[in-house]
Amino acid sequence: MKTFDELKVKETVQKGIQELGFNVPFPIQAQAIPILLEGYDVIGQAHTGTGKTAAFGIPMLEHILNNGGIQALIIAPTRELAIQITTELRKVGKFTGIKMATIYGGQGMGIQLDALRNKPEVVVATPGRLIDHINRGTVKLNNIKFLALDEADVMLDMGFIDDIEFVLERVPDNRITSLWSATMPAEILRLADKYLNEPKRVLIDADDLSGEGINQSFLVIKDREKQKYLTTFIKENKKGQTIVFCSTKIRTRNVARDLQKARFNVVAIEGDMSQNKREYSMSKFRKNNAEILVATDVAARGIDVPRVGLVVNYDVPNQDMIYFHRIGRTARAGAKGNAITLVSYSSVGDWNIIKKLIKSDMTDLNQKLGIEIHIPDPLKRQVGRRMAPQIRSGYGGRSYGSGGRSYGSGGRRTGGYNRNGSARDGPARDQYKKKRFTQSSSSSSDGSRNRSRKRW
């Protein structure tokens, strides 16, 4: 497929594509859409910003019948991403008459019940709140034709694997399933082997960590000097809006406050904010009514604003892939952007590990600006030891900076539900939770599921 005009989809879907100005599909769309339209399952590996939503959304919209109940289910790890997916699908499906509902933790149940009473054909949900509705009987899965698991590696890392399997055990076997992930850890492959039927693989830039279109640079300075340089870099950004990523909630608040004092128009997103405040901040930033967004990593996967010209890592991320997800908020859809990492002396060891993975040239701002590095001897010894526990590769168990809590791969969340639907320890939550790694070896021994296939 070289152009969207080649797609054999109904006129209402094609009209939505054309109104958005889509002409030439992104690579993942060109490969995945024809496969899903033919009725095959798909495992898609691609980084954020590659057009995954349209890749699974267009085939869904093509086969959904109006007034046929919930026929498509999309599961996403965070509320921000769930809202973003719904927004994009509504644009593509503008002329189809297909109704959509978004359900996620942190929003009042009454609002979601009203949306579900409107009998939507598509539901976009975060795992915990979805299970709440399933057990209430307000979301029924018996008519599901399409199921998409977006950002599967993040859901694994957040401890949602049990919740995902809870849902997969309850949807009809005769469905089309697509699983999307930036990385493919063993647990994701096990999930695909168990619940997908001979899936076709779509791998787009699976190993591309170059950050194409992004001018990357770094500056090693004392931590107390960061705010001064941050202000300077933001003032020099003439290409659009700025996102500043911080490692903790407290740091996020402090940076946002200092930028406000410097008379910038700033909004912030961090874990302790109410859902209304988070949605207000994101809405203001998306509408370009705020020039700067300060955020913790929990928001990194749900931000898709084409006007972002600069990403600043105020703190070095404590996990290498998080760096690439952060900087991927700029240079969207073929645009250009800048990413600057402020490296405190205590984080030099962690930064050196990330630098080894970056395949493009980087600008050393210390050399460019003539700023000397004077790391105290105790810190030099610490850097030499690499500070091993604080940064990890891939999506295994690791520590997230936002809130200082630890999350292991494949572990069970506190709260949630057993396989029979009964409550475990408490209500399901759509947020990061402390959990223990308690996975039995039997979880990986199940064979793949054989199920009948209906071709459309």
Q: Which two tokens stand for residue 1?
A: 């497929």
Lowest-confidence region among 54-58, 97-101, 383-387: 383-387
Parallel/antiparallel/unpaired status of strands 337-344 and 308-313: parallel
- Tell me the range of 87-101, 260-274, 390-404 where mean pLDDT is highest: 87-101
Tell me the average pLDDT of the chain. Answer: 81
Give residues with Cβ within 8 angstroms of 433, minimum separation 6.
158, 159, 405, 407, 413, 414, 415
Q: Which CATH class is domain 4-203?
A: alpha beta
Give residues with Cβ within 8 angstroms of 117, minimum separation 6.
none
Confidence of residue 361 (pLDDT cuts 50, 70, 90): confident
Domain locations along the chain: 4-203, 214-390
The per-residue pLDDT for range 44-83, each reduced to its tens digit, is 987 666 788 999 999 999 999 999 999 999 999 988 889 9
The per-residue pLDDT for range 164-215, each reduced to its tens digit, is 999 999 999 999 999 998 778 888 889 999 999 999 998 765 444 556 688 9
pTM assigned to the model: 0.63
Topology of domain 214-390 in CATH is: Rossmann fold (3.40.50)
Q: Which two tokens stand for residue 430?
A: 């759509």
Domains 4-203 and 214-390 belong to one CATH topology = yes
**Mean pLDDT on 32-52:** 87
Q: Is the pLDDT of residue 416 over 80?
A: no
Alpha helices in 158-238 (DSSP H): 161-168, 186-195, 226-236
- The burial of 441, by beta-carbon neighbours within 10 Å (0-12 exposed, 13-18 middle, 19 or more buried), is given as exposed
**Whole-angstrom Cα distance, residue 278 to residue 270?**
8
